C-alpha cells in the first residue's frame, strides 16, 4: 500500500555530505572543472555548502512519457511502470554524479564512461520493454524510440527555458495557444536576470540546499525589485483568464489545508501501481484514499476532507519545505531524504480551490475520474512546453507573477503558489497516454480548439506563511522550495498540480449550473 506520511520533527544529522559538479558542453564533449562542495551545519541555523567556483550539475534525459501519445489502454499500466523505472535510473545516475566528484576531477572521461554510458545501456533495455508492451497490446512501437536513450550532463543554468515565459504549446499536441503577445515582458525588470541561474556562475549562491541539490541563492528574487508583469484579464499561466465572458459564475469547494497531514510520494496518475513513483512528497486534500494502488472505485468510495460531501475529488501538489536545519518524518524515507527532499514540511495557511467558466461559452460537466496535470515536474531539463509555475506574494499577485524564481516577500506578506488548470476537454477520454493530450488550455481568444469542449477551470491558490529567506555573501538562510525529482534541483519552474475529478453527478451539475448562470456558489 502507499505510505501516508504523518509529520513530526527529528533533529538534523550532525553532518550531511552533499556534492555538486560543474561542467560545460563544448567541442562535442563534456568538460568538467572547478567543483567542490560539502554541506555544513553550524549553530547559527545556517545550512551552507562551502564551495569554490562550484556549479550544481544535473543530468538531462529525454522525457519519454511525453513522447508516447499512442499507447493502447491495456498497455498503459505496464508502460507506466517502465517509465517510473526510467525516472529511478536518472535519479541513481544523478546521485552517482554527486558522489564521485574526486574521480571526475582526475578523469575527464569519467562522467561519460562511468555514469552516462551505463545509464544509456539501462535506458535502452527499458525502452525496449516499453516497445514490447505496446506491441503485445496491439499497438505500434513508436519510431525512433531507441534514440531517447541518450542522456547528457548539463550545467545548472539550463538555457532553453525562454526566461520562464509561459503559455507555449502546453500539450505538445499541435494546438495553437495563440497568446497574441500576452506574454511579452513577463520577465522584464530583472525577474530572471539573464536566465535561470544568473548567467551560469551561481554568483556565489551555491549552497546547494540542505541536501546538496538546491535551492541556491540565484533561485530567489526580491519581489519588490521586480517590475510588474501581471496583466489584468490574463491568467497566471499567461493565457486569457476564464470566467469574464460567456460563463461568468464560479464554484468554490472548501477542502482544508491538509490538516490530516496526508502525504505520500506516489502519483496514481503517471505511475499507477508504483510506490514512490513521484520521488517527492505530495500534499493531499479532498479524497483521502489516493495512493499509487488506488483504483477508481477506491477513490469514488474514499473519504473526503471537503465540506461538500458531494466532492470526493483528489487535489494534490508537491509539498513546500523550509530548509531550516530540521529533518521531517521522511528524512530517511523514499520521496524524502533518500530522494534529496529535506527540511520541514510546511502546511499551507490557505488552500483555495475554485472552478470558473469560459470567456466565450457555457461549460459542460467534467466526466467522473477525469485526470488533469498542470505544470511539469521536469521542467528544469524539459524546457517550457508544459511549464506552468506561478509564484508571488500576497499584495503583489495582480502585479508580479514569477515563473522560474522563488519570491522573497516583504514583511507581512506571504508566499503564494497559483495553478490554473487546462479547461478544454476532448469530450471522450478521462486520461491520455501522456496525460496531456485529452485536455488543453484555451486559445488566445478564449475558445477551445480542435472540437474540444469547455469544462470548469480549476484554479488552485496556496498561501504559505514562511520566513523570508535571507541571502548574505551568496548563501541562503531559511531557503524554501517545493519537493522535486533530485535531478530537477528544486527549481521554481518545476512546480505542478494534479486533479482527479470525483464530484458526484448531482454536485457536478450544480457546479455547471452555477458557472453558466453567473452565480458564485460554494
pLDDT, one tens digit per residue, over 102-154 is: 888 888 888 899 999 999 999 999 999 999 999 999 999 998 899 999 999 87
Distance from the first to the final alpha carbon of the chain: 34
Q: What percent of the chain has pLDDT over 70?
A: 76
**pLDDT at site 113:** 93
What pLDDT does 327 receive?
A: 87
Judged against a pLDDT cut of 90, whether residue 387 lies above it is answered with: yes
Name the strand (E) or helix (H) holding 400. none
Between these two residues, 362 and 16, which has the higher pLDDT value? 362
Question: Distance (Å, rounded) from C-alpha 454 to C-alpha 328?
Answer: 41
pTM tops 0.85? no
Q: Is the pLDDT of residue 310 over 50?
A: yes
Is the distance from CB of 92 to CB of 485 less than 8 angstroms? no
Rounded distance between C-alpha atoms, residue 268 and residue 290, angstroms: 7
Q: Checking phi first, is residue 238 left (phi over 0); if not, alpha (psi -120 to 50) or beta? A: left
pLDDT category of residue 235 using cuts at 50, 70 and 90? low
**Alpha-carbon gap, residue 263 to 256, rounded angstroms:** 14
The predicted-structure confidence for 370-382, as pLDDT tens digits, reads as follows: 999 999 999 998 9
Which segment of 27-31, 427-431, 511-515 scores lowest on mean pLDDT? 27-31
pLDDT band, residue 158 (cuts 50/70/90): very low
Mean pLDDT, the chain, integer: 81
181's CB contacts (< 8 A; 6+ apart) are: none
| pLDDT beyond 90 at 255 | yes
Q: Assess whether pLDDT exceeds 80 at residue 253.
A: yes
Give residues with Cβ within 8 angstroms of 515, minimum separation 6: 243, 247, 248, 249, 250, 251, 355, 356, 357, 362, 363, 456
Beta pairing partners, 344: 322
Nearest to 115 by CA among 132, 138, 127, 98: 98
pLDDT at 214: 85
Say which residues have a Cβ less than 8 Å from residue 47's Cβ, sequence separation at least 6: 12, 39, 40, 41, 207, 209, 210, 323, 324, 325
Neighbours of 292 (CB within 10 A): 22
pLDDT band, residue 358 (cuts 50/70/90) = very high
| Per-residue confidence (pLDDT) for residue 3, from 0 to 100 | 53
Amino acid at each position: 500500500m502507499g505510505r501516508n506520511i504523518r509529520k513530526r520533527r527529528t533533529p538534523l544529522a550532525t553532518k550531511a555530505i552533499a556534492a555538486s559538479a560543474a561542467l560545460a558542453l563544448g567541442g562535442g564533449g563534456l568538460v568538467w572543472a572547478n567543483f567542490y562542495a560539502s554541506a555544513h551545519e553550524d549553530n547559527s541555523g545556517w545550512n551552507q555548502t562551502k564551495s569554490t567556483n562550484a556549479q550544481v550539475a544535473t543530468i538531462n534525459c529525454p522525457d519519454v512519457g511525453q513522447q508516447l501519445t499512442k499507447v493502447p489502454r491495456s498497455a498503459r499500466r505496464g508502460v507506466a511502470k517502465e517509465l517510473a523505472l526510467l525516472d529511478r535510473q536518472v535519479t541513481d545516475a544523478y546521485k552517482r554524479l554527486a558522489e564521485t566528484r574526486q574521480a571526475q576531477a582526475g578523469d575527464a572521461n569519467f562522467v561519460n564512461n562511468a555514469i552516462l554510458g551505463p545509464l544509456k545501456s539501462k535506458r535502452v533495455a527499458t525502452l525496449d520493454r516499453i516497445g514490447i508492451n505496446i506491441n503485445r497490446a496491439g499497438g505500434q512501437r513508436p519510431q525512433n524510440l531507441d534514440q531517447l536513450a541518450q542522456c547528457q550532463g548539463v550545467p545548472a543554468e539550463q538555457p532553453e527555458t525562454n526566461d520562464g515565459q509561459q503559455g507555449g504549446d502546453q500539450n505538445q499536441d499541435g494546438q495553437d495557444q495563440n497568446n497574441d503577445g500576452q506574454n511579452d515582458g513577463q520577465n522584464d525588470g530583472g525577474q530572471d536576470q539573464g536566465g535561470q541561474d544568473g548567467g551560469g556562475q551561481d554568483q556565489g549562491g551555491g549552497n546547494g540546499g540542505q541536501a546538496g541539490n538546491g535551492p541556491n541563492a540565484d533561485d530567489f528574487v526580491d519581489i519588490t525589485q521586480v517590475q510588474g508583469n501581471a496583466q489584468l484579464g490574463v491568467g497566471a499561466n499567461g493565457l486569457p483568464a476564464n470566467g469574464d465572458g460567456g460563463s461568468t459564475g464560479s464554484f468554490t469547494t472548501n477542502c482544508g489545508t491538509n490538516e490530516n497531514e496526508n502525504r505520500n510520494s506516489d502519483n496514481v496518475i503517471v505511475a499507477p501501481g508504483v510506490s514512490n513513483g513521484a520521488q517527492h512528497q505530495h500534499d493531499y486534500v479532498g479524497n483521502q484514499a489516493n495512493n499509487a494502488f488506488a483504483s477508481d472505485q477506491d477513490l469514488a468510495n474514499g473519504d473526503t476532507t471537503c465540506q461538500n460531501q458531494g466532492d470526493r475529488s483528489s487535489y494534490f501538489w508537491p509539498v513546500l519545505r523550509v530548509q531550516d536545519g530540521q529533518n521531517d518524518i521522511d528524512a530517511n524515507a523514499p520521496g524524502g531524504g533518500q530522494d534529496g527532499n529535506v527540511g520541514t514540511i510546511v502546511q499551507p495557511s490557505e488552500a483555495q480551490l475554485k472552478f470558473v467558466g469560459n470567456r466565450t461559452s457555457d461549460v459542460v460537466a467534467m466526466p467522473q475520474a477525469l485526470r488533469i496535470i498542470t505544470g511539469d515536474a521536469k521542467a528544469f531539463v524539459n524546457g517550457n512546453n508544459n511549464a506552468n509555475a506561478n509564484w508571488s506574494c500576497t499584495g503583489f499577485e495582480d502585479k508580479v507573477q514569477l515563473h522560474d524564481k522563488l519570491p522573497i516577500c516583504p514583511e507581512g506578506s506571504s508566499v503564494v503558489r497559483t495553478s490554473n488548470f487546462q479547461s478544454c476537454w476532448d469530450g471522450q477520454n478521462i486520461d491520455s497516454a501522456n496525460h496531456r493530450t485529452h485536455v488543453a488550455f484555451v486559445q488566445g481568444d478564449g475558445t477551445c480548439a480542435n472540437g474540444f469542449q469547455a469544462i470548469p477551470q480549476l484554479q488552485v491558490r496556496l498561501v504559505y506563511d514562511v520566513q523570508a529567506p535571507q541571502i548574505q555573501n551568496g548563501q541562503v538562510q531559511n531557503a524554501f522550495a517545493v519537493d522535486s525529482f533530485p535531478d530537477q534541483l528544486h527549481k521554481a519552474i518545476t512546480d505542478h498540480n494534479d486533479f482527479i475529478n470525483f464530484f458526484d453527478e448531482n454536485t457536478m451539475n450544480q457546479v455547471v449550473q452555477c458557472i453558466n448562470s453567473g452565480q458564485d456558489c460554494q
